[in-house]
Amino acid sequence: MKAQLLKHKTKEELIVILNGLLRERLKYNICRATGEFTKFHLFSKTSKNIAKICTVINEKKKSN
């Protein structure tokens, strides 16, 4: 995800995207706990996207 694209979205849209990414990360955690998870790059990619969205949300809070 590009940070520039995220900055143009509303806070509500960002929260919806964040919820989807958190569900995806939970699914990866469950798969990793059962030993079925072999795509570790997806876990780190999801974590980075979550961090980007949280950063944009915090910037929007500070600007208001």
**Residue 49: is its pLDDT beyond 70?**
yes
Average pLDDT of 1-8? Answer: 82
Q: How far apart are CA 52 and CA 46, in angstroms?
A: 10
pTM: 0.81
Domains in the chain: boundaries:
10-63
Position 41 confidence tier, pLDDT thresholds 50, 70, 90: confident
**Torsion angle of alpha carbons 27, 6, 11, 41, nearest 10°?**
10
pLDDT in tens, 21-36: 999 999 988 888 888 7
* In contact, 62 and 37? CB cutoff 8 Å: no
In this structure, is the dihedral angle defined by the CA atoms of residues 7, 10, 15 and 17, taken in order, positive or negative? negative
**pLDDT over 70 percentage in the chain:** 98
Q: How far apart are CA 50 and CA 59, in angstroms?
A: 14
